[in-house]
Amino acid sequence: MYQKIIVPIDHGNRNMKTEHKVFISGFVESDCRPALGEYLHYNGRYYALAEQRIPYMRDKTVDDRFFILTLFAVAMEAEKQMLNAQDTIIQAVLPVGLPPKHYGTLYRKFENYFKGRGIQQFTYKGISYKVEITDAASFPQDYAAAMTVYQKIAEYNKVITVDIGGFTLDYLLIRGGRPDLGVCDSLEKGVIKLYNDVASRINSEKDILLDDTDIDCIIRGERTDFNGEVVRIVEDMAKTYVNDILGTLRERGLELKAGCLVFIGGGSLLLREYLEHTGKVDRCIFVEDICANAKGYSMLYQIQKKGR
């Protein structure tokens, strides 16, 4: 018996996201069954999800690590839909995406990475699955996320999406509701750079070790155990970081006070207070759903399917 399922997936360098699930883009491979945690048994090996993410990869097709993570994602969605009957072959369609800057050169390669592998057999949480990826369709990241708030941005002729992620800052211009792939880029200015700069300065000046969680708490204005001077330095560096990235966008010829800016990604939500009070941005919308890209891929796939 065959069962079709559509599984939109956002293959992030920091997190994997489906419409319903989020997990870190990393796993540990072993010959032995893990004692704890979620794992796959696939091709004689065990793969357990881990807190340590895979190092940044511009091209995620160079090895099978993101394919393994994709099997996790498909199994999670199949589990949610209770598609795990012993005699069922799950035929999965994957709407996926890439950063706008890399979309034109990599989208075919990314789609083909998933297709033509035949039926994949594995166990997840001790349950056997048979999965065949029958199709994959790729769409521009961030444009997809913007589609989830389309009603809010439809009135604007120009919309700039700004995705502040862990490793990269991606931007894209949308004209009249369509992505302009000639006006986009992916810059290595994600929040990890801010974390590293803050940790280095605080260690150097105050002999205090801050981790990412400490920095997040200070930036969000939450209660911390650090003194006022440490808090002031972190807040000042966050303000400088925000001013620098907005200045970079202005240098790229993007007018931030015309049309509307759509801020996407965990970095945007972390720095929302700073972004809203820089004086450099007028109309802006924050996409608060971390799974927005995956949901947007699903929407764009349905539109593409109707147009065939």
User: Regarding beta strands 39-42 and 27-30, do their DSSP bridges make them parallel or antiparallel, or are they unpaired?
Assistant: unpaired
- Give yes or no for residue 200 having a pLDDT over 70: yes
User: How much is the pTM?
Assistant: 0.86
- Give yes or no for residue 174 having a pLDDT over 70: yes
Length of the chain equals: 308
Class of residue 164 by CB neighbours under 10 A (exposed 0-12, middle 13-18, buried 19+): buried
Domain spanning 149-191+221-288: CATH 1.10.1040.50: no
Helix (H, G, I), strand (E, B) or coil at 245: helix
Question: Phi and psi for 41 in degrees, rounded to 5?
Answer: -110, 115
pLDDT at 55: 82
Distance of CA 303 to the CA centre of its chain: 22
Q: Which residue has the higher pLDDT, 149 or 126?
A: 149
pLDDT at 215: 95
Average pLDDT for 122-147: 94
- Give yes or no for residue 39 having a pLDDT over 70: yes
pLDDT at 52: 80
Place of tokens 């800057």: 101
- Give yes or no for residue 37 having a pLDDT over 90: no
pLDDT at 5: 94
pLDDT at 213: 87
The mean pLDDT value of the chain amounts to 92
* CATH fold of 2-140+295-307: Nucleotidyltransferase; domain 5 (3.30.420)
Average pLDDT for 49-70: 90
Query: Residue 163's beta-bridge partner residues?
Result: 170, 264
Q: Give residue-wise pLDDT tens across range 83-123.
A: 766 778 999 999 999 999 989 899 999 999 999 999 999 99
CA distance 53 to 249: 28
Place of tokens 């608060």: 288
Average pLDDT for 68-94: 89
CA distance 148 to 286: 11
User: Residues 6 or more apart from 220 whose CB is under 8 A from it?
Assistant: 270
Going from N- to C-terminal start, the domains of the chain cover: 2-140+295-307, 149-191+221-288
Q: Give residue-wise pLDDT tens across range 240-297.
A: 999 999 999 999 999 999 899 999 988 999 999 999 999 899 899 999 998 999 999 9
pLDDT at 143: 95
Query: Residue 139's beta-bridge partner residues?
Result: 97
